[in-house]
A = this chain, B = another copy of it.
Amino acid sequence: MSQRQVTMRDVARAAGVHPGTVSRVLNPRTRPLVNPATADRVEQVAREMGYSLNPIARGLKTRRSFSVGVLIPDLTNPLFPPIIRGIERVLDAAGYTALVASTDGEPARERLRLEALIARQVDGFVIATAERRHPVVADAIASELAVVLVNRTIEGEGVFAVVPDDRRGSAMAVDHLAALGHTRIAHIAGPQQTTTGLLRYRGFFEAIEDAGLAPDRGLIAQGEAFTIVAGAKAARELLATADPPTGIVAANDLLALGAYTALAEAGLDCPGDVSVVGFNDMPFADRFAPPLTTVHIPHGHIGARAAELLLERIEDPAATPQTLVFEPTLRVRGSTAAPARRRRPAGSGATAARGSRAAAPRP
């Protein structure tokens, strides 16, 4: 907040030494090279003058910035803020700064962001926007950039990633519904170009078979994105079939919320008529109407571990690539219940929506 920034030269002059010496004193790594007495004096003077190192200038020379880029598909998805918080916590402690950028899922914007951040000399990236085949990310990794993927990963070699056990999570959801007595269990799948979309779908399918239920293509609806709108659309398709499901496993909470919307439109009660399970346990999932049963993943930890992995990778470019897989847990709340006896007219299309009455009608 000082008027003119104090430079290293100023400190050097004041302390009667050469700027190079000041530089050495202020860098822990080179500090031992200088006489302890001198070092103390310089440090003292620097403190008194309120000197602070100019990271821009330093970065120019060292090609390091002690900052890392964090690429997020959509900041307004409540899943990500806790992850970011976890990342920042670790980075902060290590003296790094996180530069958060959201890409809105647009590849063009993503490339732009990435390059802008590279130009800013970031030392690495935590990327949450990965798709299974992702040229931008693959390039980044190939070009020896330090990259750690979080939540989603890519298919390929040499990847650092921290992800939930997606198959297992889906299976938990299916098992839960099956245990409640559901036999017609549907899936609202996420975009299949993401590992979360694909693996949760596969996990769902496998679990259905393991539960001894008949797999049915008609019970799979493809969500076009991980959004409420896409979830509603997919759920409408499921409800419009001849023999609609009594339980829905959504590939994430936003899709599940979309299912809520579709159910309300169709005048159906959740969980009375249809049970819904989400994935992620995003913040506020417990406050929805009804509170969402969902697969919980430890957001903060995932972020923190990703940051730690990244720091390791930055410190040691030869570090062995590794993928950390977190075990999810099921949070049972109010959106799932035993299936009721079928009571809707067996028409093929959903009957005209009875207005948008709230999913949980008041007594």
Contacts and interface: CB of A to CB of B under 8 A. Distances in A.
Interface residues of A, number: 56
A139 B2 CA distance: 10
Nearest to A112: B92
Copies in the complex: 2
Given A1-B140, A99-B100, 18 more contacts: A1-B143, A52-B115, A53-B119, A55-B119, A56-B56, A56-B59, A56-B60, A67-B120, A75-B81, A75-B85, A76-B82, A76-B85, A78-B284, A84-B102, A257-B287, A260-B287, A284-B287, A288-B289
Interface stretch (A16-24, A149-157, A166-174, A354-362): A354-362
Contact of A290 (B257, B271, B289): B289
Nearest to A300: B76
Contacts of A288: 284, 287-289
A39 interface: no
Nearest to A144: B3
Contact of A289 (B1, B116, B143, B289): B289
Contact of A75 (B52, B84, B360): B84
A56 B287 contact: no
B56 A290 contact: no
A343 to B, nearest CB: 14
Interface in A269-316: 269, 271-272, 283-284, 287-291
A171 B119 CA distance: 49
Interface string A60-97: 10000101000000011010011011001000100001
A56 B120 contact: yes
A26 interface: no
A179 to B, nearest CB: 20
Nearest to A116: B97
Contacts of A109: 92
A276 to B, nearest CB: 13
A101 interface: yes
A93 to B, nearest CB: 12
A121 interface: yes
Contacts of A56: 56, 59-60, 65, 119-121
Interface in A1-55: 1-3, 52-55
A363 interface: yes
A173 B158 CA distance: 56
29 contacts: A3-B143, A53-B119, A54-B60, A55-B120, A56-B59, A56-B119, A56-B120, A56-B121, A67-B120, A75-B75, A76-B85, A78-B284, A84-B102, A85-B102, A88-B102, A97-B101, A99-B100, A100-B100, A100-B101, A260-B287, A269-B362, A271-B362, A288-B289, A289-B291, A290-B360, A291-B358, A334-B358, A360-B360, A361-B363
